[in-house]
Chains A and B, each alone.
Chain A
Amino acid sequence: MAIEVRIPTILRTYTDGAKQVEGSGSTLAELFSDLDARHGGLRERLVDDKGLRRFVNVYLNDEDVRFMSGLETPVKDGDTVTVLPAVAGGSR
């Protein structure tokens, strides 16, 4: 078993087109580092030095991790992590 990670269209250039990849780790931060070892560059699109980038939403199963513990959110085998581009903007 592993953690399943769903990748949005815009980031599939890092996963050879795969919609779904697998990884491991005990927190989201560890999972992203593990993924980056196989999908170089992916982590940087998700995380900056302040934490999760504001351009992405990350969900553990069906909950937004911003309402959990962000990058420190614990993850375990069998979980599904979904990455979606945040949809936002405005006239300014």
Chain B
Amino acid sequence: MLTITRDLHDKIVAHARADHPDEACGVIAGPAGSDRPERFIAMDNAERSPTFYRFDSAEQFRVWREMDDNDEEPVVIYHSHTATEAYPSRTDISYASEPQAHYVLVSTRDDNDTEFRSYRILEGVVTEEPVSVVE
């Protein structure tokens, strides 16, 4: 299960809405081993595309080093789908490579309702998990 604060949940949704119709992406870091998302980091989508995202490699290097220095890890890795369901695509699955991360997908295909779902993706196997939003 992903437990996430209302504030962080809303930040992901706001980022996805702001970048729509392009896909938005980012990370929430948390203390290593804690499974607790705490520090919100919106990332550039280097592809600036409605169907693809990729972290800018230089920005990713800085952010990953910062997490390492702070003894953090990427607890949540999120991105948006802007015209399809919030379910991992084949491309999403083939790239997924942080075994401890919750992969959050949001869909902004509906103007009024944002789908927000979370998955574990391990060696090509997708497992959806419940999301608990806490105040």
A: residues with CB less than 8 A from B are: 8-10, 55, 57, 59, 62, 64, 66, 82, 84-92
Contacts and interface: CB of A to CB of B under 8 A. Distances in A.
B55 A87 contact: yes
Interface string B27-67: 00000000000000001000101111111011011001100
A91 B61 contact: no
Interface residues of B, number: 35
Interface of B: 23, 25, 43, 47, 49-55, 57-58, 60-61, 64-65, 73, 77, 79, 81-84, 88-89, 91-92, 94-100
Given A9-B99, A10-B98, A55-B94, A89 B88 contact: yes
Contact of B55 (A8, A86, A90): A86
